């Protein structure tokens, strides 16, 4: 059996997850049992959600246990199959973990077709990230043509897709992102109507300028002060899709804001949280539509591919420093 390199959780983090919380191990890859498949992982999806999965306590999935291989979505090639629906050489995605080889029940695997779109797109627009943007925006915000849509984390994996889908649906799209380069990319390459650099601009004032009739839909990836600034600019009957709160994930003092939540009452608006996995039964519908938009060029998938399983602890932190440009992927082969 080949050697399987792995990152395991060694301790729970306080604040930013530094290197000390991870443990590197090397073991023999596990032979699949009847009904299982062994996958040689090629690429791993690095997601802000992984920060939540290593906290103690109740969430939408159980926390990764101390000593366990760190949970991660990935993409790879079937190496050994003991299930009739999978054969060596098939390409699949699944929750594989931070390792070279995953041995998993066939039921958790999705076959993908690399003739349709390249590897990385299956981890981005056609993967969990794309499903998050599609359902979290269209289902939760229910946008109408002509409405003003604001998205935070706009240059990131989910946010960049949300803004583009808003344009496809005939809305005005305003992105909020960190830095001049990310903001000009949103407008010049992805077709956003405007972008606000939260690192140098007064977000609340900039929203008043760009959204004179108020914000009809807000897709929130970051929470905190930016959420508060958007809540101060809501249109009547606004819809907020609560996707994530990355500005809060590493704050050991807990969540701050929004202090002006009363605006929801004044503007007769609603906030709805969602978890992408709840839409699993409808992924096919989203994949078909997103594939069409990718083919027609209406939707662009920007990926940021870094190399080497051994570099995971440093690469993961780029999600929190904002050094990633688009979907952050770790290529391990």
Query: Quick one: tokens of 25?
Result: 């191990």
User: Which of 36, 43, 47, 147 lies at the binding interface for ligand NAP (CB under 6 A)?
Assistant: 47
Query: Quick one: tokens of 23?
Result: 């443990």
Confirm or reject binding of residue 141 to ligand NAP (CB under 6 A).
no
User: Which of 76, 94, 178, 214 lies at the binding interface for ligand NAP (CB under 6 A)?
Assistant: 178
User: Which of 39, 141, 196, 222 lies at the binding interface for ligand NAP (CB under 6 A)?
Assistant: 222
Interactions with ligand NAP, residue window 156-175 (CB under 6 A): 156-159
CB of 138 to ligand NAP, least distance (A): 14
Per-residue 3-state assignment (H helix, E strand, C coil) for 112-180: CCCCCCCHHHHHCCCCHHHHHHHHHHHHHHCCCCCCEEEEECCCCHHHHHHHHHHHHCCCEEEEEECCH
Confirm or reject binding of residue 130 to ligand NAP (CB under 6 A).
no
Binding window for ligand NAP (CB under 6 A); candidates: 207-215, 259-267, 306-314, 316-324: 316-324
User: Which of 4, 81, 103, 129 lies at the binding interface for ligand NAP (CB under 6 A)?
Assistant: 129
Which is it for the CA torsion 54, 55, 59, 64, positive or negative? positive
Confirm or reject binding of residue 299 to ligand NAP (CB under 6 A).
no
Report the alpha-carbon distance of residue 16 to residue 262 in Å, rounded.
31
Query: Quick one: tokens of 290?
Result: 């997103």
User: Which of 32, 130, 153, 214 lies at the binding interface for ligand NAP (CB under 6 A)?
Assistant: 153
CB of 34 to ligand NAP, least distance (A): 33
At 172, phi and psi to the nearest 5?
Answer: -85, 135
Binding window for ligand NAP (CB under 6 A); candidates: 26-34, 99-107, 309-317, 320-328: 320-328
Report the alpha-carbon distance of residue 247 to residue 292 in Å, rounded.
33
Confirm or reject binding of residue 247 to ligand NAP (CB under 6 A).
yes
Confirm or reject binding of residue 132 to ligand NAP (CB under 6 A).
yes
Using alpha carbons only, give the angle 45, 153, 255 rounded to the nearest 5 degrees. 95
Q: Distance of alpha carbon 58 from its chain centroid, rounded?
A: 21
Confirm or reject binding of residue 229 to ligand NAP (CB under 6 A).
no
Binding window for ligand NAP (CB under 6 A); candidates: 12-20, 178-186, 257-265, 282-290: 178-186
Give the start-end residues of each E strand in 190-299.
194-197, 215-220, 234-242, 270-273
Binding window for ligand NAP (CB under 6 A); candidates: 87-95, 119-127, 166-174, 272-280: 272-280
Order across the sheet with 234-242: list the strands: 194-197, 172-177, 148-152, 215-220, 234-242, 270-273
Binding window for ligand NAP (CB under 6 A); candidates: 30-38, 164-172, 255-263, 319-327: 319-327
DSSP designation for 107: G
Residue 165 or residue 328: which is nearer to ligand NAP going by CB? 328
Query: Quick one: tokens of 223?
Result: 């929470």
- For residue 251, count CB atoms less than 10 angstroms from its CB and return exposed for 0-12, middle for 13-18, buried for 19 or more: middle
Binding window for ligand NAP (CB under 6 A); candidates: 19-27, 79-87, 211-219, 243-251: 243-251
Residue 222 or residue 238: which is nearer to ligand NAP going by CB? 222
Residue 177 or residue 286: which is nearer to ligand NAP going by CB? 177
User: Which of 4, 93, 103, 221 lies at the binding interface for ligand NAP (CB under 6 A)?
Assistant: 221
Q: Cβ neighbours of residue 299 under 8 Å, at least 6 residues apart?
A: 125, 161, 164, 165, 168, 290, 293
Q: Which residues bind ligand NAP (CB under 6 A)?
A: 47-49, 129, 132, 153, 155-159, 177-179, 182, 221-222, 243-244, 246-247, 274-276, 319-320, 322, 324, 328
């Amino acid at each position: 059996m080949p050697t399987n390199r792995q990152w395991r959780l060694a301790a729970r983090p306080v604040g930013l997850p530094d290197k000390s919380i991870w443990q590197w191990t090397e073991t023999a890859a596990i032979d699949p049992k009847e009904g299982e498949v062994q996958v040689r992982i090629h690429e791993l999806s690095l997601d802000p959600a992984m920060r939540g999965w290593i906290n103690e306590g109740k969430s939408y999935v159980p926390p990764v246990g101390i000593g366990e291989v760190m949970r991660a979505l990935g993409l790879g090639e079937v190496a050994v199959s003991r299930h009739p629906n999978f054969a060596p050489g098939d390409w699949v995605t699944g929750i594989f973990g931070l390792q070279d080889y995953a041995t998993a029940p066939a039921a958790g695997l999705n076959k993908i077709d690399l003739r349709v779109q390249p590897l990385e797109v299956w981890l981005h627009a056609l993967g969990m990230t794309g499903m998050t943007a599609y359902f979290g925006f269209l289902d939760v915000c229910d946008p109408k043509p002509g409405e003003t849509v604001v998205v935070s984390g706009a240059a990131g994996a989910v946010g960049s897709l949300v803004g583009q889908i808003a344009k496809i649906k005939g809305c005005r799209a305003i992105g909020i992102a960190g830095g001049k380069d990310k903001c000009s990319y949103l407008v010049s390459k992805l077709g956003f109507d405007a972008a606000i650099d939260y690192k140098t601009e007064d977000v609340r004032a900039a929203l008043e300028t760009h959204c004179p009739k108020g914000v009809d839909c807000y897709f929130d990836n970051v929470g905190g002060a930016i959420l508060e600034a958007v809540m101060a600019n809501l249109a009547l009957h606004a819809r907020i899709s609560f996707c994530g709160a990355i500005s809060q994930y590493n704050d050991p003092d807990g969540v701050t804001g929004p202090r002006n939540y009363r605006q929801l009452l004044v503007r007769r608006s609603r906030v709805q949280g969602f978890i992408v996995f709840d839409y699993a039964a409808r992924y096919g519908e989203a994949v078909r539509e997103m594939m069409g938009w990718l083919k027609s060029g209406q939707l662009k998938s920007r990926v940021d591919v870094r190399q080497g399983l051994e570099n995971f602890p440093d690469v993961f932190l780029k999600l929190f420093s904002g050094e990633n440009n688009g979907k952050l992927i770790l290529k391990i082969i």
